[in-house]
Amino acid sequence: MGLHAYLLLAAAVFTTGLFGVLTRRNAVGILLGVELMLNAVNINFVAFARYNAEIAGLVFALFTIAITVAEVAIGLAIVIAIFRVRQTVDADHLDLLKG
């Protein structure tokens, strides 16, 4: 298997996540799409690290995973805070900042 195969797989997962982000109404559903996209990026990092015998890609993937966990924790805390105020997590109804 060459590097191409891994990059193609990652691209397919990334675009699937992008589709989810664009089409989901539920805020949690949108976050799940973002998770898929970040995950696909990690595959790229690790694949490039392996095929170039370079440790930097692994370090980068490790940092991405750690920061994603922090992002999910805060993102979902915001979703729950919004739910407590507005009683909905439908992204189409959360337009308070709309000018």
Partner 1 sequence: MTLETVGFWGLAVVLLASSLAVVLARNLFHSVLYLAMALVATGGVFLLLDAAFLFGVQLLLYAGGVVTIVVFAIMLTEQLVGERIRQTSRRLAPGGVVAVGVFVGVLVSLGRVSLPTARPPFPGNQTAALGEALVTRYVVALELLAILFVATLLGALYFARPDD
Does 86 contact partner 1 by CB under 8 A? no
Residue 24 identity: R
Does 36 contact partner 1 by CB under 8 A? yes
Does 11 contact partner 1 by CB under 8 A? yes
- Number of Cβ within 10 Å of residue 62's Cβ equals 13
Among 77, 50, 72, residue whose Cα is nearest residue 61: 50
Report whether 45 contacts 60 (CB < 8 A).
yes
Does 28 contact partner 1 by CB under 8 A? yes
Q: Which two tokens stand for residue 7?
A: 């990059």
The binding site for partner 1 (CB under 8 A) comprises 1-9, 11-20, 22-26, 28-29, 31-33, 35-36, 39, 42-43, 46-47, 49-53, 55-56, 58-59, 61-63, 65-70, 72-74, 76-81, 83-84, 89, 92
